A and B are shown apart, each in its own frame.
Chain A
Amino acid sequence: MLLNILIGLGVAFFGFVLQTSIGGINRKIVGRLQKRYGPKWYQEFLDIFKLLSKRATSHGWIFDFGVIMALGGIIATAMFMPITNNIVAFAGYDNFFIFVYLIAVGMLGMAMSASGSGNPFASIGVMRALTTMLAYEVPFMIIVLTIIKLTGFSSLTEIGLFQQASGNNWFLIALPLGGIVGILSLMGMLGKKPFETYIAPAEIASGPMVEYGGKQLGMLFIMHEITVFIEVSLFVHLFLGGAENIFIFLIKYFLTYTTLNLISNVNGRLKIDQVVKFYYKWPLLMAVTQAIIAIYFGWVI
């Protein structure tokens, strides 16, 4: 059991390092796209360590407790995440629903802490984040329902193995409409443009993050990096056939994140009600169509 916990902690730490580096590389890529040099690839590490070493202000115990709960919840979620078919801390228990719902504990902690700061911008940011969540989660869950129904497993490793078996395609290809929905929902989850309404730096001063500084902000940065790791890995395992070994995982992960980042950089920002309308129009329609085709008619490529 102790070994499993250590592996899990290792996965969480790996996720943090991986996402922070890839995030840095992506800043460079975006910089080049905009004809700038961009920061060094390890700039994000420097930012986080600088923040962690600074003395900050606190708005009361719930402000601190929320941050601890947020980071704790996200670390716990990451500990369940499989990286390859074999590297998984708690084999057999990497149930899809754990990721969707345990991640919510972390989100709740952050929302609590942000509202506890007493800044209205933070509350508006939380409101927008929750509304966005209501928008992207339902189409995504319908597609995952289809995948679980087709494979008969809700364990991420098993879903990955199912796609690797000969004769089966990746679900991105096997369920083309569902793949599009998956990508759109992932963009919503990551808060990429055009769905970055809840951060909106120029509009509501970074939303939930507005009051933070020092170690609290540093911990929330770590939490954010691990959250992105969980969400992108979820996509890799559900739609891109999991990973036989760590190199394949790294390639799939890097390509997924970079592609999304590039798409996001040529988009503007939607208003929050437009986000909701968008997700309940096309992605939901596509998800339901895909689910009906795949489950009731059995047409899977």
Chain B
Amino acid sequence: MASIEILILILVASSIVSYFLTKFNSFAGSVLTIFSTMFVFVSLAYYGFNDALVTTVNLLPGFTFEFTYLGAYFAIIVAFVYSMVSFFHPYFVDHYKYKNAYNMLFLLSLAGVLGAFFTDSFLQLFFFFELIVWTTMFLIPLGKSKSAAVSYFGFSAAGSFAMLFGILVMFREVGSFDITAGLASLSGTNAVLVFVSFLIAGFAKLGVFPLHIWLPIAHGNAPHPFSPVLSGALVKLGAFVAVLALIRISPASTVITAISLPYAHYIIALLGAVSIVFGTLMAIREDDAKKLLAYSSMSHGGYIIVAFSLLDSVAFAGGFYHILAHALASAGAFMAIAAVARQTGTTKMSEMGGIIHKMPITYIVYLVAIISMAGIPPMGGFISKWLIFQAVIDKGLIFIAIAVFFGSIGSFLYVFRPLAALFLGQEFPQFKKIKEAPILMLIPMIIITLLNIYTGVLPNGILGFINKIIIELGFAPLIINSPALTISGNNGLLFPALIAGVFGFGVVVAFVIFILLKKSRQVGLMDTYTAANFIHTEELLHYSVDFYAPLERLYEKYTTKMTDFYDGLANKVKELGKLAKYLFMSKYVEVAIFWIVAILAFLLWGEL
């Protein structure tokens, strides 16, 4: 029996213990972090799948918890990413200025996540959201840049306060903070207000267009082991809020008959589509591997928004599965990049090449992760994208389909770039001495790789759990045939295990052909065709800078539009602040006299 309250208390207690333990011995503190996150994940997964989580509260007065499949699904994914990433801590915390705070805040933010997903009241949800934001805000500046935290906090705070506004509007009409009952009984303008403010919160947390600016800044500059948590786990909070808004609230809105979708949901889907295209285009031209993956998170956030705004159970199943598939894929990719960054000291793709010869296992981890990210079988991303495509086609959403397909093909382009520039190509002399990542770092990466494959080959068990969520939300479940391992979409059957099996068979056939033929002679990488030029430096034979230059040239002048807009907005806010400062806190005499006259006039208003 595991009680949510006890799990949260364990995390809070171990965060305090790890603070002092890390001070004395950073390795011991990190091991404590590994054990407590692993304990929380295992108990959540075991009892969550068996519906045996206890929600009674004895020790935390004022808090109430509730078990929902929706919350449990998110909590299990997030706790899994946390527990996997914690394996990186022994190798990274020593590099940070406040290493004891790192472990403590990490555990505290997981406590916040658990609370947020299992609470039944909006006020507590807001409290836990703020707990997460405040803990992670101090984690991010431990990485490369302090200003990254400002941007993260700015957007998160905007999201949180939009949500608080929505909560209060709801409270005014309904009179309670209950999550399920409260949202369902909203009506009229209030429903629209709450819908919009919740979606602002969801978009800000998920990093979807137009509230995406913080995503590459925060992901790119966060400490290396924290980027997988940000992208794989924490942005999913936004998806949680968006699900609540899109499915539980029904704002008054005309239904577009041609596509049988309300206007409000169609507009949200369009924003998701813009996010997919924008994220893809920006990722294609990014040079920093972590920022590239951050933009890919933005594009995948768009997929999740599109899926949940289609109001169709196949799309919902796709959306929920995409949350899992993207969490695994992006955690795997970010962790591989973190391992490379630890061994080489950089994440810039133009500075690296040929790492594969020294770090083959990390390469395989990255390869499997990006295959899943690009939605290619036999990995998990294919299943979710297939389900989303089914729903998009079934509804006949042409313009959203353009974005969805563009993002899907575009993801081949951007995920291939780190593969080619960082791992493949010429081996640079300065990286000839590096070693494979330590074994403790490889363990979680290998587990994630195996899960990436498992989710693509045998998705039915997880889809069964997702069906419980869909029924809980009041929709018809997805049709899956568990003994036959098939999934029925709107216009066809999918048999993932067969695809994986046939692919494996094809590879075996090709391998047999390969092995039967004459053995090749091994030559070095510099021994290549150079059109009769004599080139002796590896850098000159490595094509990695501006990889997609001809494509980038077509759109590069539009890429700064959004940052310009936010810069302009920031300037306007600064000007407003200056005006306020001039009026209320100025040292000029004329302003003081103006205020004295104004106040006197106000006081004497009725007398004269």
Interface residues of A (CB under 8 A from B): 5, 8-9, 52-62, 64, 67-77, 79-80, 90, 92-93, 95-98, 101-102, 104-105, 107-108, 111-112, 115-121, 123-124, 126-128, 130-131, 133-134, 137-138, 141-142, 145, 148-149, 151-155, 205, 210-211, 214-216, 218-219, 271-273, 276-277, 284, 288, 291-292, 295-296
Given contacts A134-B413, A149-B394, contact A124 B528 (CB under 8 A): no
Per-position contact with A for B518-550: 1 when CB-CB < 8 Å, else 0? 111111111111110000000001111001101
A97–B495 Cα gap in the complex (Å)? 12
> Which of these binds chain A: B290-298, B320-328, B332-340, B496-504?
B496-504
* CB of A129, distance to nearest CB on chain B (Å): 10
Within 8 Å CB of A59, what residues of B?
Answer: 522-525, 527-528
Which among A96, A127, A133, A211 is the interface contact of B547 at CB below 8 angstroms? A127
A270–B515 Cα gap in the complex (Å)? 39
- A sample of 8 inter-chain contacts (CB < 8 A) reads A62-B356, A62-B363, A95-B494, A97-B386, A101-B382, A120-B541, A126-B420, A205-B529
Within 8 Å CB of B123, what residues of A?
Answer: none
Given contacts A123-B425, A130-B416, contact A64 B528 (CB under 8 A): no
Which among A73, A119, A138, A272 is the interface contact of B550 at CB below 8 angstroms? A272
Which among B375, B419, B489, B511 is the interface contact of A72 at CB below 8 angstroms? B511
* CB of B528, distance to nearest CB on chain A (Å): 4
Question: Are A276 and B412 touching (Cβ within 8 A)?
Answer: no
Question: Are A58 and B520 touching (Cβ within 8 A)?
Answer: yes
* CB of B517, distance to nearest CB on chain A (Å): 4
Interface residues of B (CB under 8 A from A): 258, 354, 356-357, 360, 363, 367, 371, 374-377, 382, 386, 389-390, 392-394, 396, 398-399, 401-402, 405-406, 409-410, 412-413, 416, 419-420, 424-427, 489, 491-495, 498-499, 502-503, 505-511, 513-514, 517-531, 541-544, 547-548, 550-551, 553-554
Question: Are B521 and A56 touching (Cβ within 8 A)?
Answer: yes
A79–B44 Cα gap in the complex (Å)? 42
Which among B258, B396, B425 is the interface contact of A118 at CB below 8 angstroms? B425
A123–B44 Cα gap in the complex (Å)? 46
Question: How many A-B Cβ pairs are below 8 Å?
Answer: 246
Given contacts A123-B420, A296-B396, contact A134 B409 (CB under 8 A): yes
Given contacts A104-B412, A118-B526, A215-B518, contact A68 B424 (CB under 8 A): no
Given contacts A76-B505, A211-B529, contact A95 B492 (CB under 8 A): yes
A255–B503 Cα gap in the complex (Å)? 30
Within 8 Å CB of A54, what residues of B?
Answer: 518
A288–B197 Cα gap in the complex (Å)? 33
A133–B506 Cα gap in the complex (Å)? 23
Which among B410, B495, B503 is the interface contact of A76 at CB below 8 angstroms? B503
User: Which of A56, A98, A291, A296 gathers most chain B CB within 10 Å?
Assistant: A98
* CB of B459, distance to nearest CB on chain A (Å): 15
